[in-house]
Amino acid sequence: MLIPVRVLGLAGLLLLPTAGGATTVPARPDTTRLEFLGFQAGARLDELNAQVQRLGGGLLRCRRSRVDRRVMECRAALREPALGSLVELWVSAIDSAAGVITLSGLVEPDQLDAWRQALQERYGRVGPRVQGAQSMLQWVRRGRMLRLTWRLEASGKIASVSLVDGRVLDDWARARALVRRRDSQAGNPPRSARESD
């Protein structure tokens, strides 16, 4: 009986890492999941609502579309010191999954620089695209897109970050096309015409 106990004790000592030999490498952040301030396209509405509240906002207010009951438009306002000023949040969700998220507001120049730097450190440097007075940086990963856009207006610099989940939008478009095809085969008028009655 003593031999098995000694064997277990020796095995345990052999499996312990040595003090000087163990090295760890910090995990690299997952850059395939595009996010900004904890918001991710494709996230569920309850997750987004929790993030809004973590950032000092109220409840996410949502309205269901009259044309497509699967679609909800949601809004919230955030007041968080890291955001600098009031930031408006808009979400277009399909079946409670965010297809498009936009955060927008009047920003200080250093705030915009901090947003740009944080995004480029996480997702890599990209060249800005300029159209008239508007500039943007864009990243695309696995069917998702993140875009930082800014422009100068009379009231100051306006910046927005948009997160788009192409898979959510593509699934919605396919489902709508299938319903239209079924309706036309059955001789039914398009849904938008029926729902406006």
Q: Where are the domains of the chain?
A: 33-166
pTM: 0.73
Q: Which has the minimum average pLDDT: 12-26, 69-83, 89-103, 124-138?
A: 12-26
What pLDDT digit, counting tens, does each position of 76-108 carry? 998 766 666 788 999 999 998 899 999 999 888
Torsion of CA 104, 36, 127, 159, to 10 degrees: 10
Length of the chain: 197
Instruction: Decide if pLDDT at 152 tops 50.
Output: yes
Separation of alpha carbons 195 and 182, rounded Å: 17
Separation of alpha carbons 18 and 131, rounded Å: 58
Residue 39 confidence (pLDDT)? 94
**Mean pLDDT for the stretch of residues 14-20:** 42
Q: Confidence band (pLDDT; 50, 70, 90) for 124?
A: very high
Antiparallel, parallel or unpaired: β 87-94 and 71-78: antiparallel
Q: Confidence band (pLDDT; 50, 70, 90) for 172?
A: confident
Q: What is the DSSP string of 53-102?
A: HHTT--PPEEEE-SS-TTEEEEEEEE--GGG-S-EEEEEEEETTEEEEEE
Separation of alpha carbons 39 and 101, rounded Å: 8
Chain center to CA of 158: 20
- Percentage of the chain exceeding pLDDT 70: 76
Instruction: Decide if pLDDT at 53 tops 70.
Output: yes
Which has more pLDDT, 161 or 186?
A: 161
